[in-house]
């Protein structure tokens, strides 16, 4: 959405031997009708700071407690010159890492790996925070204060239109399907204040203050598999939206964008338990006091479900529609976003789409969960 991602192959001679290496490179796309350049620049700044400043500190916390480093690609090189921003990262493909099919929704084995890795990121940042003089990560890493959701003026209008357009898409779909009139009405009534609602959800309140990934969904993670096909390791990618917030925002974002209801519903308690077990072990190994109980985590997860709903609605087109037909950054965030999304909806939300099993397990069941939890009233 915010970058062009490509690969670079390097052929070189070393010690008289011919060698080659490959890297993944993220580049500023310099689009005229999507994100303002200062926002693009900010996103690169945040990700570069994560790899060069924050991740090494988190790794120090983890290794000192006897744990492995956080699982992210190896940082190689970056440039922050305006309009020429780029980041070189190690290519994970030669090691067998690949993306999970987003249409399927991740199964239990994949989800538990993600739970553990989210917990490692959150817990190591919490331990690091307890060691700071003022217990404030934002003071130590000012780029964490910058957030695309925190913009004002025309930039705020851009993101309000993006979110409102996603709600409008959902309303049209629900009216076509029928049976969700109350949900559609609720969305219509909450369209204009949806950005302010999300801002409230990401405002950190003790004791739920950790470094969050911010964009933790299927397309921002890669998995490596054993010979029998079971997932053995996960790598979290795209750290452009890292922020200090409640860990429940990352959890909700992931569960409602990347896990279908037939896996999420019966296993939610075991998934949260898996997360909490890893989180607690790292906190204790770091010599800190566990900041919240399992029951408090459950309640916090419930309190942040609205955040999961918002981004499930935004991610819905990318899950349901063939990649060739998914909206572009210009469609979603450009000046004429609402009109372009309306055109996209007319072209791609067909009767076949509405009858797809994914409509139930990935979208309608999410809305049912929100109604049952009282998020949608």
Q: What HEC string does 101-157 produce?
A: CCCCCCCHHHHHHHHHHHHHHHHHHHHHHHCCCCCCHHHHCHHHHCCHHHCCHHHHH
Q: pLDDT band for position 328 (50/70/90)? A: low
- Omega of the bond leading into 207 within 30 degrees of 0 (cis): yes
Question: What residue spans define the domains of the chain?
Answer: 32-71+104-372
How many Å apart are CA 112 and CA 161, to the nearest integer? 35
The better pLDDT of the pair 324, 371 is held by: 371
Strands 221-225 and 86-90: unpaired
Cβ-based neighbour number of residue 211 at 10 Å: 27
Flag whether pLDDT at 128 surpasses 80. yes
How many Å apart are CA 361 and CA 356, to the nearest integer? 9
- 162-179: average pLDDT: 86
Q: What is the CATH number of domain 32-71+104-372?
A: 3.90.1200
Note the pLDDT of residue 162: 77
Cα dihedral sign, 150-154-160-166: negative
Note the pLDDT of residue 331: 64
Flag whether pLDDT at 179 surpasses 90. yes
CA angle 90, 95, 97 (to 5 degrees): 90
Flag whether pLDDT at 31 surpasses 80. no
Flag whether pLDDT at 155 surpasses 90. no
- 330-337: average pLDDT: 64
pLDDT tens digits, 100-113: 998 889 999 999 99
**Nearest 10 degrees: Cα torsion 265, 267, 268, 274:** -170
- 268-279: average pLDDT: 98
- 71-77: average pLDDT: 97
Distances from the Cα of 147 to the Cα of 72, 126, 171, 363, angstroms: 21, 20, 28, 27
- 24-51: average pLDDT: 87
Distances from the Cα of 28 to the Cα of 48, 80, 87, angstroms: 13, 10, 9
Q: pLDDT band for position 39 (50/70/90)? A: confident
CA angle 167, 172, 176 (to 5 degrees): 145
**pTM for the model:** 0.93
Q: pLDDT band for position 294 (50/70/90)? A: very high
Flag whether pLDDT at 33 surpasses 70. no
Distances from the Cα of 215 to the Cα of 12, 75, 124, 185, angstroms: 36, 19, 18, 28
Q: pLDDT band for position 347 (50/70/90)? A: confident
pLDDT tens digits, 218-243: 999 999 999 999 999 999 999 999 99
The mean-pLDDT minimum among 26-35, 120-129, 136-145, 244-253 falls in 26-35
Note the pLDDT of residue 164: 81
Note the pLDDT of residue 35: 64
- 279-287: average pLDDT: 98
- 35-62: average pLDDT: 93
The better pLDDT of the pair 150, 202 is held by: 202
What's the chain's average pLDDT? 91
Return all residues near 257 (Cβ < 8 A) that are at least 6 apart: 217, 218, 308, 311, 312, 315, 319
Give me the percent of the chain exceeding a pLDDT of 90: 71
Note the pLDDT of residue 339: 72
Q: pLDDT band for position 322 (50/70/90)? A: low
Give me the percent of the chain exceeding a pLDDT of 70: 92
- 142-156: average pLDDT: 83
Flag whether pLDDT at 332 surpasses 70. no
């Amino acid at each position: 959405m915010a970058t062009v991602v490509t690969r670079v192959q390097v052929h070189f001679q070393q010690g008289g031997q011919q060698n080659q290496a490959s890297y993944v490179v993220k580049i500023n796309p310099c689009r005229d009708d999507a994100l303002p350049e200062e926002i693009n620049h900010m996103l690169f700044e945040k990700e570069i700071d994560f790899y060069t400043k924050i991740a090494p500190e988190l790794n120090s916390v983890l290794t000192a407690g006897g744990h492995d480093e956080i699982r992210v690609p190896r940082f190689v090189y970056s440039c922050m010159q305006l309009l020429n921003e780029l980041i070189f990262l190690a290519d994970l493909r030669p090691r067998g890492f690949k993306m999970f099919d987003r249409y399927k929704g991740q199964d239990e084995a994949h989800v538990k790996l993600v739970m553990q890795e989210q917990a490692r990121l959150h817990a190591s940042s919490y331990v690091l925070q307890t060691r700071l003089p003022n217990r404030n990560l934002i003071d130590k890493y000012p780029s964490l204060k910058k957030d695309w959701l925190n913009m004002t003026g025309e930039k705020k209008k851009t993101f309000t239109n993006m979110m409102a357009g996603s709600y409008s898409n959902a309303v049209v779909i629900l009216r076509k399907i029928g049976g969700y009139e109350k949900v559609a009405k609720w969305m219509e009534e909450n369209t204009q204040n949806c950005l302010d609602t999300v801002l409230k959800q990401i405002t950190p309140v003790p004791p739920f203050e950790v470094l969050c990934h911010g964009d933790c969904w299927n397309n921002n993670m890669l998995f490596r598999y054993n010979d029998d096909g079971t997932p053995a390791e996960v790598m979290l990618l795209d750290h452009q939206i890292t922020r200090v917030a409640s860990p429940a925002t990352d959890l909700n974002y992931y569960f409602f964008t990347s896990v279908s209801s037939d896996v999420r519903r019966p296993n939610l308690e075991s998934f949260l338990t898996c997360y909490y077990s890893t989180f607690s072990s790292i906190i204790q190994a770091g010599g800190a006091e566990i900041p919240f109980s399992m029951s408090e985590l459950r309640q916090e997860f419930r309190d942040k479900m609205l955040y999961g709903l918002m981004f499930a609605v935004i991610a819905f087109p990318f899950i349901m529609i063939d990649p060739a037909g998914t909206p572009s950054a210009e469609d979603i965030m450009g000046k004429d976003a609402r009109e372009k999304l309306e055109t996209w909806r007319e072209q791609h939300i067909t009767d076949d789409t509405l009858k797809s099993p994914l409509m139930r397990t990935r979208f309608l069941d999410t809305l049912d969960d929100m109604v049952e939890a009282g998020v949608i009233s």
